[in-house]
Structure 1
Amino acid sequence: MKAEKHILIVEDEEKLAYVLEDYLHAANFTTHWLADGAKVTDWFNTHPVDLILLDLMLPNVDGLEIAKTIRKTSKVPIIMITARIEEIDRLLGLELGADDYICKPFSPREVVARIKAVLRRTYNEDVDAQTPTTLSAPLLLDGHSFCISANGRQIMLTHVEFQLFQVLYQQPNRIFSRVQLIDKIYQDHRIVSDRTVDSHIKKLRKKLAGLLPEIELIHSVYGAGYRYAPQAKSAETALQDS
């Protein structure tokens, strides 16, 4: 039997911390909760953990400073929690070494799923054997024909769909806002609404489902945008696609 993974929750909202603990315990994780940013580093230096769920806004010492300090001595996975969308690029920057981030408000189930995904990548261990996240073969993108291939299958995209997918694909796990995607796809600065991006994403996902039926490649991040991160589809998502 695999040892339980230990998650350090650093969150000053007591009710939210309790909810996160309940969901993580149900997923067979052990947890420890700290609410004061000033206490995190000393506690971390004397207690081994497998991952840190770290809020950005904390009393006394904020999450950014905590992440910087921890990264000087440890490569422990860190998932940042933030309500400040403008901090996105900094949170995922190499200088901070954050492995992922989640925007408030969020679903506790999403937090658990993201923790499992980061742990799989970090420790090369299948935390949940029923939800593999690796592609069995690499995707091949052909910019001349706007074609994507994988596992002997092939799909054709429109020019805009291919550009959209390529932007996300080239920077895995980075979250792009709708405005950022519009700027990269429509470089003639035409006026395009957010709904246009959502429509393209919907069509792109439908085509990708025909290429890789078991894998969800493009994920919506509530309040932030979209990101590319191959992950096995949940039963609910698979049912929606069928």
Structure 2
Amino acid sequence: MCGRYVTREEAAMERYWHIGARNSGRWIRRIYNVAPTNQVPMVVLNDQAEQEVVPARWGLIPTWWKQAKPPSLSFNARSEEAATKPMWRQAIRTHRCLMPAAGWYEWNEHEQVRNRAGRRVNQPYYHHAIDDQVLAIAGLWSSWIGPDGQDVLSCALLTRDSAGPVAAIHHRMPVILAPEQWSLWLSPSTPPEQVHSAIALSRTNFDAYRVSTDVGDVRNQGEQLIEPVRTA
């Protein structure tokens, strides 16, 4: 499960996806401790088949959802189940997005430390690209009409079994696509077999280092959260 990540600044996203000011949002700000239900940027194709950055709730609400309260634990979708689970199967067919990130946090359950309160917790790690470029997390999105009649955009990121250096820290990781896979992923006409091939061939070349246990509190924000820490 990936429950926390770091977004990039708007300018970096515009450069990476060649998105001009007319197709991006002035609402974007860099967040160092993104948590489920937060508003996050996602890249989708608009009605003119142009890439656009739009705000979405992190935690997918499927179109058919009837309850006033959104579903819980819908921020991660297991890629192995996405084609068959009702929560994800419509989105994996035609509503795929990219969720821009700088990196993500994961906790190593085999390495315990004490937090500021003196309580024993799992050691958090920050994962990022070796070249520190923008990461494109494979995501799913949905448009849902809430009880108040408002259209709510929401998204979930896809996960897979960990591979490469990440596997030493946690058994799951986000599906992160290489630039040559982006167009295929965003197109609603891409055949299912090519979608699943993109997941299977997603990136595994990441680096990780220990960071402060402060990241465990969603109220904590700031660049200090991604600074490396030394162990005793």
Greater fraction of residues in helix = 1
Q: Higher relative contact order by CA 8 Å / sep ≥ 6: 1 or 2?
A: 2
TM-score range, shorter chain: under 0.3
Structure with higher Rg: it is 1
Return the TM-score normalized by structure 2: 0.26
Greater fraction of residues in strand = 2
